[in-house]
Structure 1
Amino acid sequence: MSKSIAWRLALAIAMTCALVLSVIGVFLYRSLASELAFRDDQALLGRLEQVRALLHDSDSLEALQERPRLYQNMLGNLDSVLLVKRADGSPLIAINPHQQTLPDMQPIAQGRAPQRADIRTLDQTVLLVGMAQGPAGETLSVTVGKRLDEREQMLASYRLRLYGAVGLGALLAFGLGLLLLRRGLEPLRELAHAMAGIDPRSLDQRMATHDVPAELKEPVQALNAMLTRLEDSFARLSQFSADLAHEIRTPLHNLLGSNSLALNQSRSPTEYQEVLASNIEEYERLNRMAENLMFLARAEHGQRPLQLQVLDLGEVGDELCDYFEALAEDRQLQLDNQLSGSLMADQQLLQRALGNLLANAVRHAQPGSTVRLQRHDDAGFCWIGVHNPGPPIEAQHLGKLFDRFYRVDPSRAQPGDSGGLGLAIVHSIMQLHGGQVRVVSDTSGTLFELGFAQ
């Protein structure tokens, strides 16, 4: 089961609220406990001073013993403790509602005012012991105290309310957060609904960006860019399929036509040999097309590893010129190798790329002209070019020359050409090398250049 973003975010909000409420609750709880403790301590300090004053101002100790209600009214509740002892330890006044055993404590001197540091907490009871002077100058020991049961009950009740408040706050935060997040994620559902309606026939559709939230604007723009790439790739694929069918259909029709004519009537062995030779040419054309397509497919998927080595460009150019020398002589052309220096590249792929460019140059150059292999370096690139002084290529064709099966003039296709895949192979070879390819054509001729990063 997939995890919902809304549920996870709502849970995170609830946990955050619970944490914040818990911190606030702990702070308030400790503040209340500290305030109650301070008030109880101040009341206990005041009580010791009151008892001291009462003992000092009384007419006699016997009169105090005869009026115990006075102490009970002064102490105010059953949680208070008052114990007055004579110097010999005998009790003079003993108010201890819970009959708890009081420990011996070091009393405060008579002339010193009590402080909070003198108060001790024992067995859920705060106690304070000090010396006092009786009516006849008799030295007395006074113990005052208060049980903390009421305070603990109050704090326990407060804790329960805090627990309830934190839990209820977390539940409310989760519910409200989930509701708001579901409403906030509505643009995503709308976007998903719009994307679901896009198919190969509607790749030209784009997601609207003017009404989407700011957080979704960049993803929507990236999605539109991806749709643009998909549309372009799909259009190229459709065009490639049509071009491939057209390129295959031509040799197949030639094969069918020649075989049909050969079978319509008896022919001499020489005529059958001519038919077979013609068929072999068409088969070779189909075979070259299949090999070129397989190379392009492997290159695009990175299945053709590079075997880089340092190459002498002068030697590479000489080998290519020797290979195309006979074809150039047939077309009354001169080949001029001006390549020099070294280059790190795959020798087989570089020879294939330059060979394709040189074959095109020889095919389209004007008779009596010179086809040149040249090199120049700039901006961190080594540019290797093939220049032919043939007729210029019109500007509308330059951007499509490296597309598969694209020809400027399909009528000029020859049986020995690459089937419109030569320049596409050159482009793939340069992509494998991480380089660039470019073409410039004007009245002085056409220059194809391969750029290798240095």
Structure 2
Amino acid sequence: MSERRHSLAWRLALAVAVVCTLAMSAVAVFLYRSLAAEIAYRDDLALLGRLEQVRTLLHDSDSLGVLQQRPQLYQNMLGNQESVLRVRRADGSLVFEINPHGETLGDPPRIGVSQQPSRTDIRQDRNALLLAGDAVGPAGEALTVMVGKRLHEREAILASYRLRLYLAVAAGALLAWIIGLLLVRRALTPLRDMADALALIDLRNLHRRLADTAAPLELQAPIQALNGMLARLEQGFERLSQFSADLAHEIRTPLHTLLASTGQALNQPRSSDEYRELLGSNIEEYERLNRMVENLLFLARADHGQRRVHLQAIDLAHLGEELCDYFQLLADERGACLEHSLHGTLNTDLQLLQRALGNLLANAVRHAKPGTTVRLSRHDDAAFVRLCVRNEGDTIAPEHLPRLFDRFFRIDPARTEPGDSGGLGLAIVQSIMTLVNGKVSASSDDGVTTFTLSFPNAGAVQLDSYVDSDPSSA
């Protein structure tokens, strides 16, 4: 089952809506609590003032009888149907009571005549706020006054306000989601433009690049990374195309030789010696093809990291003696001498090091002038152990130095000799140095050419995957 795909625009719009909803909810809670606190404060102040007014009225009246006969006066004073008032004598008998809704009222604690009422004296009883205090009536009679206010009106106001806040937050969240979706879709336009531009790039126009001049700052880094990737793909494709052409050219030569010699031999009867000579010549071409296939296979495995590096401490002096002995016959044929000054140890892969130095020595001997010496030496610095192969011969032009390690590259394509690597020897050296986290470089000046293998002092890094490969030199 494929994973469900979610739109980035919808996700961002939903995130904007959630953030706006949380912000509006926080504001709504603050406003609601502020309103509730303000209403409660005003109701408390009204009760405190009402208690003082009733006390003053009772104290200034001529008689309670007159007050009892005029209850409308108190109703007008209270001003609405939510307020209650009750006055009792000291013995508990009721003087008068105003209770429009007939609520059952409690009996809260009373405050003294001389005591100034405060908000802490107000008590909530069921659905009403009550405040009681002692008072002095006409002729100094002791009375008890209780004023109150029902909470139904307050609760109705707050309930209506809550509903409006809920609707406002919901409408705001929906509006934020819609506007956020529109803005995000507009903001993602550069991404769609970039996708359209990438869709137009194929093998025929790998040279095209994405324009970053009008792109937002956040997209400039990805665009530059994509342009860099396209440049590497273009270079890789060009190298692959060149490699394919060079490979076809290299294989065509021995194949044409084989076909021509075999066809010529079949045109007319030949003696056994002539057939034997033909087969010997064909074997040389087969060996050349075989070396080329093995070298290509090694390069392919090395490029994909399929060759494990077996680290071990190598005695460089002993390795130098072995290599010089192995290539001495080739050097004698060229009229050159071999010498080495290798010393100490190096922690790396023995077979890979043998193959890299063998390829460099074979290349140096083939291009050395007769009577000169090919030298193998070691030079260390703070960061690298450097193994150098030096020979005297023709100076390599500076424009050729960067391409020496390209596959099938030859400075003089016409100079092919039996047993050569088919233009892959130096490419194999570079792949080996990549495997061991080192590097190879070349320099040529005044007829002296030096190839240098640089190994980190810390040693090579062992890779995870491996395949068996033939470690024989190319």
Hey, what does 1:323 align to over in structure 2? 326
Matching of residue 304 in structure 1 with residue 307 in structure 2: yes
Shift, 1:338, TM fit: 0.9
Counterparts of 1:18-167 in structure 2 under 5 Å? 18-167=21-170
Q: Provide the rounded CA distance (Å) in 2 between the counterparts of 1:123 and 1:293.
A: 95
Determine helix, strand or coil for the equivalent of 1:358.
Answer: helix
Shift, 1:117, TM fit: 0.4
Shift, 1:379, TM fit: 3.7
Hey, what does 1:402 align to over in structure 2? 405
- Structure 1 regions of 5+ residues with no counterpart? none
Deviations 1:190-210 (A, max 9, x none): 111111111111011111121
Hey, what does 2:431 align to over in structure 1? 428
Moved over 6 A (4+): none
Counterparts of 1:292-371 in structure 2 under 5 Å? 292-371=295-374
Shift, 1:120, TM fit: 0.8
Shift, 1:5, TM fit: 1.1
Give the residue type in structure 1 aligned to 2:430: H
Higher mean C-alpha displacement, 1-10 vs 387-396: 1-10
Q: Provide the rounded CA distance (Å) in 2 between the counterparts of 1:436 and 1:379.
A: 16
Counterparts of 1:3-18 in structure 2 under 5 Å? 3-18=6-21
Determine helix, strand or coil for the equivalent of 2:138.
Answer: coil
Q: Provide the rounded CA distance (Å) in 1 between the counterparts of 2:17 and 2:315.
A: 70
Q: Provide the rounded CA distance (Å) in 1 between the counterparts of 2:184 and 2:110.
A: 65
Shift, 1:100, TM fit: 2.1
Q: Tell me the TM-score normalized by structure 1.
A: 0.99
Give the residue type in structure 2 aligned to 1:8: R
Q: Provide the rounded CA distance (Å) in 2 between the counterparts of 1:54 and 1:313.
A: 119
Q: Provide the rounded CA distance (Å) in 1 between the counterparts of 2:251 and 2:198.
A: 37
Give the residue type in structure 2 aligned to 1:293: L
Deviations 1:187-245 (A, max 9, x none): 11111111111111101111112121111111111111111100100000000000000
Give the residue type in structure 1 aligned to 2:419: G
Determine helix, strand or coil for the equivalent of 2:201.
Answer: coil
Q: Provide the rounded CA distance (Å) in 2 between the counterparts of 1:221 and 1:78.
A: 76
Determine helix, strand or coil for the equivalent of 2:140.
Answer: coil
Shift, 1:99, TM fit: 1.9
Shift, 1:136, TM fit: 1.4
Deviations 1:320-351 (A, max 9, x none): 00000111111111101111111111000000
Match of 1:174 among 152, 172, 177: 177
Deviations 1:50-105 (A, max 9, x none): 00001100001111101111111111111111111111111111112222222222
Q: Provide the rounded CA distance (Å) in 1 between the counterparts of 2:110 and 2:124.
A: 15
Hey, what does 2:448 align to over in structure 1? 445
Q: Tell me the TM-score normalized by structure 2.
A: 0.95
Q: Provide the rounded CA distance (Å) in 1 between the counterparts of 2:30 and 2:252.
A: 86
Q: Provide the rounded CA distance (Å) in 2 between the counterparts of 1:102 and 1:147.
A: 10
Q: Provide the rounded CA distance (Å) in 1 between the counterparts of 2:70 and 2:174.
A: 59
Give the residue type in structure 2 aligned to 1:331: R
Shift, 1:177, TM fit: 1.0
Shift, 1:26, TM fit: 0.6
Q: Provide the rounded CA distance (Å) in 1 between the counterparts of 2:214 and 2:89.
A: 90
Match of 1:230 among 226, 230, 233: 233
Hey, what does 1:202 align to over in structure 2? 205
Give the residue type in structure 2 aligned to 1:409: D
Q: Provide the rounded CA distance (Å) in 2 between the counterparts of 1:357 and 1:171.
A: 73
Hey, what does 2:258 align to over in structure 1? 255
Hey, what does 2:465 align to over in structure 1? none
Q: CA RMSD in A?
A: 0.9
Shift, 1:106, TM fit: 1.5
Determine helix, strand or coil for the equivalent of 2:124.
Answer: strand
- Structure 2 regions of 5+ residues with no counterpart? 458-474
Q: Provide the rounded CA distance (Å) in 1 between the counterparts of 2:456 and 2:294.
A: 28
Deviations 1:96-121 (A, max 9, x none): 22222222221001100100000011
Deviations 1:137-171 (A, max 9, x none): 11111111000111111111111111111111111
Q: Provide the rounded CA distance (Å) in 1 between the counterparts of 2:207 and 2:81.
A: 88
Match of 1:213 among 209, 213, 216: 216
Give the residue type in structure 2 aligned to 1:152: E
Q: Provide the rounded CA distance (Å) in 1 between the counterparts of 2:96 and 2:339.
A: 130
Deviations 1:231-271 (A, max 9, x none): 10000000000000001111111111111011111101111
Q: Provide the rounded CA distance (Å) in 2 between the counterparts of 1:132 and 1:279.
A: 135
Q: Provide the rounded CA distance (Å) in 1 between the counterparts of 2:204 and 2:391.
A: 43
Matching of residue 185 in structure 1 with residue 188 in structure 2: yes
Determine helix, strand or coil for the equivalent of 2:5.
Answer: coil
Q: Provide the rounded CA distance (Å) in 2 between the counterparts of 1:326 and 1:285.
A: 20
Match of 1:419 among 411, 414, 422: 422
Q: Provide the rounded CA distance (Å) in 1 between the counterparts of 2:10 and 2:400.
A: 56
Count of aligned residue pairs for this structure pair: 454
Q: Provide the rounded CA distance (Å) in 2 between the counterparts of 1:317 and 1:169.
A: 82
Q: Provide the rounded CA distance (Å) in 2 between the counterparts of 1:391 and 1:219.
A: 47
Q: Provide the rounded CA distance (Å) in 2 between the counterparts of 1:3 and 1:421.
A: 50
Shift, 1:386, TM fit: 0.2
